[in-house]
Amino acid sequence: MDRTPVTILTGFLGAGKTTLLNRILTEEHGLRIAVIENEYGEVGIDHELVINADEEIFEMNNGCICCTVRGDLIRILGNLMKRREKFDLILIETTGLADPGPVVQTFFADDEMKEKLFVNAVVTLVDTKHVLLHLDDSSEAREQIAFADVILLNKCDLVEPADLDALELRIRSMNALARIHRTTNAEIEIPKVLDVGGFNLDHAMEVDPHFLDGHHHHHHKDDVSSVGIEAAGDCDGKKLNDWLSKVIREQGADIFRMKGVFAIGGQPDRIIFQGVHMIMDAANGGPWGKRPRHNRLVFIGRNLDRAALNAGFRNCLA
Amino acid sequence: MKQIGSVQADDNILHIVWNGDLLAATPVTGEILVLDLVTRNVSGHPGHGLGNGDSAWFGGRLATCGFDGRVRWEGRELHAGRGMIERVKASGDGKRLAAGQGKSLLVFDGQGNPAHGLAGLPAAVADFAWNGSSRVAVVGAGGARMWKLGEESAFARFDWGGASLRVEWSSCGRWLATADQTASVHIYDFTRDYPLHIQGFDSKVRAMAFSADGRKLATGGAPVVTIWPCTGKKGPEGVTPVQLDGHDGDVSAAAFSPADGKLATGDGTGGILIFTFEGDRVLRKRLRLDSGISALAWHTEKDWLGVGMEDGTVSVLSLDA
């Protein structure tokens, strides 16, 4: 059964989410798009569904201490998927203050949602003029960046280039996996936000190689950061599984995203892995071909211990 | 078995409900249809934009609701608020109508005027169930709370760490059953103030129904239908439930006949099983229709089964023919 892609738009108040949404909806892309919002927009939208302003967060109570989903989303999407008329894409615009975690986890933790839908991308808009006011004080703002597959540094016309460079460096240190674009008035080629495949395991590890070498520098210490690990050779499959299980069991609440490509001893193919908080997903990534057998793993999370994660992974090498 | 009536809606049938010989069928989107089995007339009620909620008969008229945040009844708009409304239900005695919207339960009297609604609930209303004209159970994140309308606080509550999505209250008032966000069911016994949490289902429970006498609870989600005995001092506690197989797909609807206690269950492949209970024996009859079954409802007096299907067809089958 073909699953319908879902794009999640996040970003703090005034960052430009609605501007981007309107651009997407007015673009000639031929896609039939359903939009789920927290409030009715000023511009009438054909297939607009509005969920209640009170976020309805369900704890899953399934053993994952941090596993929460959006009950209202499950119901509204459940209804949408029953319709005879099908959509090519579902766009979810979250409120500026929303923690994106439960929205993203909805598509991993609920079996019905997982069966019928998949997250194509989390797109986070950043108001470059004002984001620094929020980054230090708002865990939601930091998590919106941490969860993103695509980050639009918006309102670039209002900020000096040097300040933009510094901001981009800081954001890159928080999320090494996201593709970052600089925009004004959320002007961007639409495929760069809709044709992403951020949670597609085939695209799991399109990481800036420079990030993985660990030589990036920035002067601001954020509690949210990325840790990249790279090592040649094969892993011991059992050791790797045990270690990853331990990491997510003990630190899953603080890990927003993780992605990896592994060479496992005895396995001719690449093993691709990704996770959200305590939920892991792995798949066969096809043959290594002429590529060297090389492991790459990235964690994005809060209060990550870079040295401990590196040491833990290296213990898994065969 | 003979088909004695049918009607075609524009979309997948979400819900069907009888009022005498009138059958109301609510599709996911589009016009809500009422089939009159006596005159064969079909009348339409306006839909609720991008998504309809369930419908209910109230004072002989159809009440509808939907994602447009509106409740309509008798051609009137009883409520127009912000946020989706998925359920509207009349109390068993027909004196009140309620609808859940966000953290509020809207309640209307027989004239359609607001009457002792609940506002500022701790969680959004995922579902609710009436018992009599003034007691109502509301479920959502955190479990179930039972209210006597007009009173300041809930008279009973069953808390748990997860969320409940559907609720049924047995007509005898003793049992409250919830189907949960996880693959589990809670059965609460009011006589003992005792919650039973039943886990281990293969999938989320999508179909749930009490028999008219409240002595049986049927649950279904995976292809197996489970019958929980709600009798004796402890009810289902410690008892091996009856497991009824025979479905080819996941069970999507279940309904007990109020007339003779038969159970009908339907699955996503178009299969319907009719179970008749004779002492310890369970007799099974199988029917097959052309589309996945999405809703089932028995006529209150006749051996007629209303069937809603994913392709928008609504059929009425006479089982004694």
Q: pLDDT digits over A92-105, tens only?
A: 998 777 788 889 88
- Does A220 score more than 90 pLDDT? no
B247: tokens are 């479905």
Convert the pLDDT of each residue in B36-91 to its tens digit: 999 999 999 999 988 999 999 999 999 999 999 999 998 899 998 878 899 999 99
Pick the CATH number of A216-314 from 3.30.420.40, 3.40.50.2300, 3.30.1220.10, 3.30.70.330: 3.30.1220.10
- Domain borders along chain A are 4-199, 216-314
- Does A64 score more than 80 pLDDT? no
**Confidence at B161, pLDDT banded by 50, 70, 90:** confident
Q: Do domains A4-199 and A216-314 have the same CATH topology?
A: no
- pLDDT at residue A219, rounded to an integer: 54
**Confidence at B212, pLDDT banded by 50, 70, 90:** very high
Mean pLDDT value across residues B246-271: 97
- Does A222 score more than 80 pLDDT? no
Looking at per-residue pLDDT, the higher value among B15 and A133 belongs to: B15
Residue B6, Cβ density class (10 Å: 0-12 exposed, 13-18 middle, ≥19 buried): middle
Long-range contacts, A278-283 (Cβ 8 Å, 24+): A278/A64, A278/A65, A278/A66, A278/A67, A278/A248, A278/A249, A278/A252, A278/A253, A279/A64, A279/A67, A279/A105, A279/A108, A279/A109, A280/A244, A280/A248, A281/A108, A281/A201, A283/A201
| Chain B residues close to A69, C-beta within 8 Å | 181
- pLDDT at residue A154, rounded to an integer: 96
Q: Could you please state the CATH topology (level 3) that the domain comprising A4-199 is classified under.
A: Rossmann fold (3.40.50)
Convert the pLDDT of each residue in A69-94 to its tens digit: 888 889 889 999 999 888 999 999 98
Task: Determine, for residues B83 and A51 on separate chains, whether the beta-carbon distance falls below 8 Å.
Answer: yes
Task: Determine, for residues B102 and A52 on separate chains, whether the beta-carbon distance falls below 8 Å.
Answer: yes
- Does A288 score more than 70 pLDDT? yes
Q: CA-to-CA distance for B295 and B120, rounded, in angstroms?
A: 32
**Confidence at B271, pLDDT banded by 50, 70, 90:** very high
In this structure, the strands spanning A117-127 and A150-154 are parallel
- pLDDT at residue A61, rounded to an integer: 66
Q: What is the ipTM of this complex?
A: 0.84
Question: Nearest C-alpha of chain B: how many angstroms from A39?
Answer: 9
A13-27, B205-219, B248-262: least confident range: A13-27
Task: Determine, for residues A83 and B29 on separate chains, whether the beta-carbon distance falls below 8 Å.
Answer: yes
- pLDDT at residue B81, rounded to an integer: 85
**Confidence at A63, pLDDT banded by 50, 70, 90:** low
- pLDDT at residue A9, rounded to an integer: 94
- Does A54 score more than 80 pLDDT? no
CB contact, 8 Å: A303 with chain B?
no
What residue in B sits closest to A48 (Cα-Cα)?
B50
The proportion of chain A whose per-residue pLDDT surpasses 90, expressed as a percent, equals 44
**Confidence at B221, pLDDT banded by 50, 70, 90:** confident
What residue in B sits closest to A77 (Cα-Cα)?
B51
Question: Nearest C-alpha of chain A: how many angstroms from B292?
Answer: 11
Q: Which of A49, A71, A79 lies at the smallest CB-CB distance from B124?
A: A71
| Chain A residues close to B186, C-beta within 8 Å | none
Q: Which of A108-112, A130-134, B179-183 has the highest mean pLDDT?
A: B179-183
The residue type found at A172 is R
**Confidence at A43, pLDDT banded by 50, 70, 90:** low
Question: Nearest C-alpha of chain B: how many angstroms from A233?
Answer: 40
In this structure, the strands spanning A33-37 and A48-50 are parallel
What residue in B sits closest to A67 (Cα-Cα)?
B162
A–B interface: beta-carbon pairs under 8 A: 99
- Does B1 score more than 90 pLDDT? no
Task: Determine, for residues A83 and B28 on separate chains, whether the beta-carbon distance falls below 8 Å.
Answer: yes
- pLDDT at residue B304, rounded to an integer: 97
Chain A, residues 207-246, CB within 8 A of chain B, namely none
pTM: 0.86
Question: Nearest C-alpha of chain A: how many angstroms from B238?
Answer: 23
The proportion of chain B whose per-residue pLDDT surpasses 90, expressed as a percent, equals 84
Mean of per-residue pLDDT scores for chain B = 94
- pLDDT at residue A159, rounded to an integer: 94
- pLDDT at residue A5, rounded to an integer: 93
Mean pLDDT value across residues B220-240: 92
**Confidence at B248, pLDDT banded by 50, 70, 90:** very high
- pLDDT at residue A44, rounded to an integer: 56
- Does A173 score more than 70 pLDDT? yes
- Does A204 score more than 60 pLDDT? no
Question: Nearest C-alpha of chain A: how many angstroms from B141?
Answer: 5
Convert the pLDDT of each residue in B14-50 to its tens digit: 999 999 999 999 999 999 999 999 999 999 999 998 8
> At which residue do the structure tokens 């500022």 appear?
B120
Q: Which of B82, B141, B312 lies at the smallest CB-CB distance from A56?
A: B141
